[in-house]
Amino acid sequence: MSNIQKLRSRKCTVMHGIDATKVTSPHLFGGKTFDRIIYNFPFAGFFKNLSREATLRKHRRLVSLFLKNAKEIIGENGEIHISHKTNAFHIEWNLESMASSHGLRLIEAPEFDQSDYKNYNTKRGFGGDMNFNCYPSKTYKFGLKRAQVQLLS
């Protein structure tokens, strides 16, 4: 039985192929909230003709829009998980700062463990070579800042 089938047998809602920047579209979830929203290795694409700074802005914009939207559909104690590389260019995405600007706080950031995602494979490696190395990476876990949780109660 696949992981998706196991989750569905437990009455979990499993969705993929969703535009990460539009997760609050009313027709997608009809007002549902979620305990966990997971986004493994967000990546806006390869931009060979753009400068490093312009490319960084595209990646940051993708994650920022995702966080802004995902925040609206997590429950009071819900979490947003982003697995993300922690070396070189990726560290400049400043996930913690970005999340904070959207009213989210870092709960923890353990090292990414691919065994947590049995049979997980990324779609593309660097340059589209189908050989993406997930390490070094962390899974950043964000939740609502405490003041917002009190407002929701």
Residue 83 domain-assigned (yes or no): yes
* CATH number, residue 43: 3.40.50.150
Number of structural domains found in the chain? 1
Residue 25 domain-assigned (yes or no): yes
Rounded to two decimals, the pTM is 0.81
Cα–Cα distance measured from residue 64 to residue 97, given in angstroms and rounded to the nearest whole number: 10
Helix (H, G, I), strand (E, B) or coil at 123: coil
pLDDT, tens digit, 9 for 90 and up, residues 116-143: 877 776 665 554 455 567 788 999 999 9
pLDDT, tens digit, 9 for 90 and up, residues 30-64: 778 889 998 988 988 889 999 999 999 999 999 99
* Beta carbons within 10 angstroms of residue 16's beta carbon: 5
Task: Note down the domain range covering 148.
Answer: 18-152
